[in-house]
Amino acid sequence: MPPSVIYNMKKSRSIFGDKQGGPEIWNSIKFAKRKLPEELIASQKNRLMEGILDDKKSTPIIPIQPRKTIWIWYAAASIVLLMTVGSFLLLKENNFETSYGQIATVHLPDGTSVTLNGNSSISYSPISWRFFNNRNVSLTGEAFFDVAKKEVDGKRIKFQVLTRNLQVEVLGTRFNVIDREGNESVVLEEGKVQLMIPDVQIPLQMVPGDYVGYDASKKRMLQMVVLTEEYTSWKDKYILLDNKTLGELAQIITTVYGKKVVFQNDEDKKIPLEGKVPSDEIRILIAALRLATKLEISLENDVVTVSNSSKTITI
């Protein structure tokens, strides 16, 4: 402490005067009991109660709301779950596919039958078909469609086949569709078909016997009248060779049966073919070609070799 404070403390006088002594001094101090007046106690109590009441009046009372947050969270979670499940069901598709050299027939929910050539597949959404009457089928490869007619409330429901670039729309008909490596085509056997083609504003109306091909790389369309059996005989397990060359048949052997074809003479690709050959078994097909062309045609290790000269061409 500062010196002045210490000095003052030394000069201060005891409240007991100059008396000296021990504990007897403290024992000599007497404390008198005093009782507060009743009026004073009552008035202080009233003031305290008035203060409490004033605080209650000035403080707004906010009612406690029931805790609905957890129920809102559960409701939101349930909605999200339902939407997720619904989206999954809508996006879930039924898929059917064939392996190389296999031919299979699929019956769709509306009674339509689809015959798949080898190395082909179709897919559709069962939910869209059942609840929205949306008869859409996506195709890769080659398939023949025998479409059943369907009506709802007196209105015919259209059937659509979708390839990479084409959209085939029908009501009830029989037709063949190909979508292989940039080669897309439709051949109509029976009924009517409306065909949507890229960069063509007006849909193309097809009649029986029509062939329409589309080359995506060149954006070019070809339309002509054909013998439909040439394009649909495969579903009956034979190939009609009329108007085909050996080179064109080699492409079929590659895409449908998955076999590589090697020509030892480029000119052999141009050999015209005619007649019918079985298509349900590749070795029977090759044996028939050997008899029809008089060429040496062999199959070994998934490679078909056409022998006639020393020059080798692979397709």
The CATH number covering residue 226 comes to: 2.60.120.1440
Task: Give yes or no: residues 157 and 248 share one domain.
Answer: no
Same domain, 310 and 265: yes
For 88-134, how does the pLDDT look when each residue is reduced to its tens digit (9 = 90+)? Answer: 445 578 999 999 999 999 999 999 999 999 999 999 999 988 888 88
Give the 3-state secondary structure of residue 1: coil
* Segment 239-267, tens digit of pLDDT: 999 889 999 999 999 999 999 999 999 99
Q: How many domains would you assign to the chain?
A: 2
Same domain membership, residue 103 and residue 167: yes
Residue 67 forms part of a structural domain = no
Residue type, position 103, single letter: I
Looking at the structure, tell me whether residues 148 and 118 fall in a common domain: yes
Q: Mean of the pLDDT values across residues 73-85?
A: 60
User: For the domain that residue 259 is a member of, what is the CATH number?
Assistant: 3.55.50.30
> Rounded distance, CA 73 to CA 86, Å?
20
Q: Which is higher by pLDDT, 45 or 181?
A: 181
Q: What are phi and psi of 210, to 5 degrees?
A: -75, 140
Shared-domain flag, residues 294 and 216? no
Residue 243 sits in the same domain as residue 218: no
pLDDT computed for residue 59 by the predictor: 53
Mean pLDDT throughout 207-229? 93
Residues 153 and 217 in one domain: yes
- pLDDT of 296 > 80? The answer is yes
Q: Long-range pairs for 269-275 at CB < 8 Å and ≥24 separation? A: 269/245, 269/313, 269/315, 270/245, 270/246, 271/245, 271/246, 271/295, 272/244, 272/245, 273/241, 273/242, 273/244, 273/245, 273/246, 273/249, 274/241, 274/242, 275/241, 275/242
- Tell whether 263 and 301 lie within a shared domain: yes
Domain closes at, from 230, 256, 287: 230
**Distance between alpha carbon 301 and the CA centroid of its chain, in Å?**
38
- Predicted pLDDT of residue 96: 96
Classify residue 263: in a domain, yes or no. Answer: yes
Domain that holds residue 118: 93-230
Confidence (pTM): 0.69
Residue 88 dihedral angles phi and psi, to the nearest 5°: -60, -45
Count the neighbouring beta carbons within 10 Å of the beta carbon of residue 123: 15
Among residues 230, 263, 278, the one where a domain terminates is 230
Q: Which position has the higher pLDDT, 22 or 241?
A: 241
Please indicate, yes or no, whether residues 226 and 206 belong to a single structural domain of this protein.
Answer: yes
pLDDT at residue 237, as a whole number: 93
Per-residue model confidence (pLDDT) at position 311:
44
Please report where in the chains the tokens 């692979």 appear, as a residue. Answer: 314
Closest alpha carbon to 248 in 223, 265, 272: 272
Asked if residue 303 and residue 209 are part of one domain, the reply reads no
Q: Is residue 276 part of a domain?
A: yes
For residue 124, what are the contacts with CB-CB under 8 A and spacing of at least 6? 93, 94, 108, 135, 136, 137, 138
Percent of the chain with pLDDT over 90: 51
Q: What is the mean pLDDT of residues 184-211?
A: 93
Q: Could you identify the residue written with the tokens 């199959």?
A: 299
pLDDT in tens, 93-104: 899 999 999 999
Confidence of residue 302 (pLDDT cuts 50, 70, 90): very high
Residue 16: inside a domain: no
State how far Cα 248 lies from the chain centre: 36
**Residue among 243, 235, 244, 310 nearest 279 (CA):** 235
Residue 272 has pLDDT above 80, yes or no: yes
Could you give the C-alpha distances from 87 to 127, 130, 162, in angstroms and in order? 10, 15, 21
pLDDT for 283 beyond 80: yes
Average pLDDT, the chain: 81
Residue closest to 284 by CA, chosen among 230, 238, 225:
238
* 59, part of any domain: no
Average pLDDT rounded to a whole number, residues 32-59: 61
C-alpha gyration radius of the chain = 48
The amino acid that residue 10 corresponds to is: K
The predicted pLDDT at position 3 comes to 46
279 lies in the same domain as 211: no
pLDDT band for position 42 (50/70/90)?
low
Same domain, residue pair 217 and 261:
no
Let me know if residue 40 belongs to a domain.
no
